Amino acid sequence: MKKLFLIILITFIFFAPVKASHLMGGEITWTCITNPANGPVGLYIFTLKVYRDCNGIAIGGTTQTIIVHNNPLVPTINVDLIPGAPFDISPLCDPVNSGNPQMSCVNPQQGSVEEYVYQSLPVNLAGIPPAGGWHFTWDDCCRNGAITNGFANLGFTLRAVMYPYSILGVPQNANPCFDSSPQFTEQPKTIICIGYPFSYSHNASDPELDSL
């Protein structure tokens, strides 16, 4: 069985920035609906998560568009901001014992972060993905200007790939859906202490228990 898996990649587009820098990371995932209580069985629900430096501008609009590559039947997927989003995921502080103020996006300090979560309506992806997969991308500008481990203030792209699912070597139609993408179940860490060892796991999991 050929494993369907997710590749999340931030790529850099080299052009002059036209917006304030604010984007820190994100992911594109999808869920195969198998329970009628969650919607039409056999369709997909796509989720886009974007993390924003609260010192930058807000992400505009309540609807974002995921571009679908290599699938002429479904060129785009619209995703809408879920109720309650964006969420303030700034690290919790102990102002009394540490002497440091609580970070918050209400009065942004360095290190304050928001999580934007968007979801689609159920999507029908008919057809068989090519060997190179269907690519799902979302892009905006610009990368966080405060980063030191890459190019700041440049274009920001998230990408996920859905590869064909095969049974006995025969690629299967993606309608009805056959698999969900892996998911990150751990929230990202937005701040760590300088000079101290640090270990972090995204805690990736797969609803179908496929190997990752």
Planar angle of CA 163, 169, 171, nearest 5 degrees: 40
pTM of the model: 0.83
CB atoms within 10 A of CB 142: 23
**Per the structure block, which two tokens stand in for 115?**
């999580």
59: left (phi over 0), alpha (psi -120 to 50) or beta: beta
The pLDDT tens digits along the chain (212 residues) read 444 444 333 333 333 334 456 899 999 999 999 999 999 999 999 999 999 999 988 898 899 999 999 999 999 999 999 999 999 999 887 778 877 788 899 988 888 999 999 999 999 999 999 999 999 999 999 888 777 777 777 889 999 999 998 999 999 999 999 889 988 777 777 777 778 787 766 656 666 546 54
